[in-house]
Amino acid sequence: MTRTDAAAQYNPMGTTALVTGASSGLGPGYAHELARRGADLVLTARRLDRLEALAVDLAEKYGTVSTVIPLDLAAAGSAAELVHDLADRDIRVSTLINNAGFGRSGSVVDAPADVVRGQVAVNVVALTELTQAFLPDLLSAALTHPHGAALVNVASTAAFQPVPQLAVYAATKAYVLSLTEALWYETRGTGLKVTAVCPGPTETEFQAVAGNASRGPRRLMTVDEVMTTTFAALDRQAPPPHIVSGTSNRVVAWLAGSAPRRTVVRVTGRLSRR
């Protein structure tokens, strides 16, 4: 590590980080790494028992103070409820990890309306509302805690192309990618570290929830690998607007952006039927 890199290393010590979707998947991974680096946590997700167990684990391992807030971000007004709750507790957020999200495999015509609505509500609406609501605090923290403030939106390699049988999910992640890259540009020079993380299939509950847990003899990434990719980017002086976890995933994302869209969707369509 060069001297310049060391000076730019992401250091949230003494600040508070909010992790959505903290009860499972990538959420506990982000919580552990943030706690290891000295941040206190706000942990939110639907399952209170898992959040409480995670908070105890973080306290025992790192001495971290965690505020646990059970919340369903698919519910209308949930993002505003979280913002008001933290304001009432006088908690200022310096890092926001928008990790909450889900997908469901199947054709759009067969999908239950509430499942489609829920994906858009969590992956798009809640993420956007939380980002906008906390952005002033994040920008303020970037001034008072140099290299200690960050906005990380979890997208997906599905963001780079249409994905039949995961059409709504892929579309929501394309939105997350586009929004985050625009925010990266809008916040240049502020000191806030902004990036969209684009993992491929990972060893989490996502595959089972999506309904494609048994598809294909592919190697799933580990949560630790995604954490390594994320925090290596945050440790840079200026993180890129997005990062793709895994060499093969980066190649696939590049190919998806280089080939004609009709060709890309035909390929992903064939793969989705296997």
| Active site (catalytic) residues | 169
User: Nearest CA to 177 among 163, 194, 189?
Assistant: 194
Helix ranges restricted to H, the chain: 3-8, 27-36, 48-62, 78-88, 113-120, 127-144, 167-186, 206-210, 223-234, 247-258, 261-272
121 token code pair: 């509500």
228: tokens are 């390594």
> Can you tell me the distance from the alpha carbon of 187 to that of 239, in angstroms, rounded to the nearest whole number?
12
Neighbours of 127 (CB within 10 A): 27
